[in-house]
Amino acid sequence: MTTLTEPRTERATAAALSEFKNEPLTDFTKPENKTAMEAALQKVKGEIGREYPLVIGGKRITGLKTFSSANPSHKEQVVGKFQKGTRENVQQALDAAWKAFESWSRQPVDVRAGLLVRTAKLLRERKHEFSATMIYEVGKTWAEADADTAEAIDFCEFYAREAYRYAGRQPITKIPNEENELVYLPLGVGAVIPPWNFPLAIMAGMTTAAAVSGNCVILKPSSDAPWIAYRFVALMEEAGMPAGVVNFMSGSGGEVGDPLIQSPRIRFISFTGSKEVGLHINEEAARTPKGQIWIKRVIAEMGGKDAIVVDRETGSLDEAATAVVSSAFGFQGQKCSACSRLIVDEAIYDKFMPLVVEKTKAMRIGASEKGESQIGPVVNESAMKKIKEYIDKGAKEGQVLAGGQVHPEQGFFIEPTVIGPVARNAVIAQEEIFGPVLAVIKAKNFDDALAIANDTEFGLTGAVFTDNEEKIRKAQNEFFVGNLYINRKCTGALVGVHPFGGFNMSGTDSKAGGRDYLGLFLQAKAIARKVTKKQTPHEGVGE
Is 156 labeled as catalytic in the residue annotation? Answer: no
Give 256-273 pLDDT, tens digit per residue: 999 999 999 999 999 999
Percent of the residues in the chain that have a pLDDT greater than 90, as a whole number = 95
Question: What ranges do the domains of the chain cover?
Answer: 33-302+508-524, 306-486
Q: H/E element holding 81? A: strand 74-83
- Terminal CA-to-CA distance of the chain, rounded, Å? 51
pLDDT band of 311, cuts 50, 70, 90: very high
Report pLDDT for 197: 98
- CATH 3.20.20.70 at 306-486, yes or no: no
Q: How many CA atoms lie within 13 A of 523 on its CB side?
A: 12
Report pLDDT for 535: 57
Give 320-374 pLDDT, tens digit per residue: 999 999 999 999 999 999 999 999 999 999 999 999 999 999 999 999 999 999 9
Whole-model pTM over 0.85: yes
Report pLDDT for 15: 66
Residue 541: pLDDT over 90: no
Q: Is the peptide bond before 421 cis (omega within 30 degrees of 0)?
A: yes
Which of 14-28, 74-88, 229-243, 499-513 bottoms out in mean pLDDT, i.e. has the lowest? 14-28
User: 276: which residues sit within 8 A by CB, 6+ positions away?
Assistant: none
Residue 537: pLDDT over 60: no
Is 313 labeled as catalytic in the residue annotation? Answer: no
pLDDT band of 6, cuts 50, 70, 90: very low
Higher pLDDT residue, 334 or 12? 334
Q: What is the mean pLDDT of residues 213-237?
A: 98
Residue 75: pLDDT over 80: yes
Q: Superfamily assignment of 33-302+508-524 in CATH?
A: Aldehyde Dehydrogenase; Chain A, domain 1 (3.40.605.10)
**Per-position DSSP letters for 374-431, written without gaps between them:** SB---S-HHHHHHHHHHHHHHHHHSEEEE---EE-SSS-EE--EEEES--TTSHHHHS
Report pLDDT for 159: 98
Cα→Cα distances 139→60, 70, 145, Å: 28, 10, 9
* Cα–Cα distance, 372 to 44 (Å, whole number): 19
Give the three-state DSSP class for 517.
coil
Four-residue CA torsion sign, 119, 121, 123, 126: negative
Report pLDDT for 532: 84
Report pLDDT for 127: 98
Of 23, 129, 151, 336, which one is the catalytic site residue? 336
Percent of the residues in the chain that have a pLDDT greater than 70, as a whole number = 95
Report pLDDT for 7: 47
Q: pLDDT averaged over the chain?
A: 95
Report pLDDT for 390: 98
Which of 142-151, 439-448, 527-536 bottoms out in mean pLDDT, i.e. has the lowest? 527-536
User: 21: which residues sit within 8 A by CB, 6+ positions away?
Assistant: none
pLDDT band of 2, cuts 50, 70, 90: very low
Residue 135: pLDDT over 90: yes
Residue 4: pLDDT over 50: no
User: 172: which residues sit within 8 A by CB, 6+ positions away?
Assistant: 180, 181, 182, 526, 542
Report pLDDT for 16: 81
For residue 482, give the amino acid letter.
G
Of 301, 369, 415, 432, which one is the catalytic site residue? 301
* Cα–Cα distance, 251 to 468 (Å, whole number): 52
Give 381-433 pLDDT, tens digit per residue: 999 999 999 999 999 999 999 999 999 999 999 999 999 999 999 999 999 99
Residue 281: pLDDT over 60: yes
Cα→Cα distances 112→10, 24, 35, 128, 215, Å: 10, 25, 36, 26, 10
* Cα–Cα distance, 181 to 299 (Å, whole number): 27
